[in-house]
């Protein structure tokens, strides 16, 4: 199936989200494997970034995990995806790794065309 043509601003935004997710893996995860999956399905673009690194406590139970859950990088990723009308989910398990999943609807929004 032919890939849909995305507005330039979408491409840049998704690239920046991917870049930040990879930066977090390199900086924090101590991972031996990083997997990036990009797919188009059911009117959505899906991006997943998975690693097998340290993971972190998503509940924010410790001071260090609170910093990770509320980091500036994660906040910016969430804001960028929101501007495209999409969603982002972050799942992490200590000692098992982290997965960042982004879903963006393929219908163009007036305020994000590029």
Of 99, 85, 83, 81, nearest to 36 (Cα)? 99
> What pLDDT sits at residue 41?
87
pTM, 2 dp: 0.81
Q: Packing angle between helix 72-83 and helix 8-24, nearest 10 degrees?
A: 160
Length of the chain as a residue count: 114
pLDDT in tens, the chain (114 residues): 677 788 898 999 999 999 999 999 999 899 999 999 999 988 899 999 999 999 988 776 555 544 555 577 889 999 999 999 999 999 999 999 999 999 999 875 444 444
Q: Are 26 and 54 in contact (CB under 8 A)?
A: no
Of 65, 61, 56, 66, nearest to 97 (Cα)? 56
């Amino acid at each position: 199936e032919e890939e849909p043509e995305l507005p330039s601003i979408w491409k840049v935004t998704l690239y920046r989200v991917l870049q930040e997710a990879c930066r977090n893996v390199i900086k924090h995860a101590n991972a031996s494997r990083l997997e990036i999956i990009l797919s188009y399905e059911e009117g959505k673009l899906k991006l997943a970034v998975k690693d097998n690194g340290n993971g972190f406590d998503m509940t924010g139970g410790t001071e260090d995990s609170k910093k990770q859950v509320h980091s500036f990088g994660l906040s910016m990723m969430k804001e960028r995806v929101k501007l495209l009308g999409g969603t982002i989910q972050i799942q992490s398990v200590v000692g098992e790794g982290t997965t960042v999943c982004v879903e963006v609807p393929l219908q163009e929004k007036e305020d994000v065309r590029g």
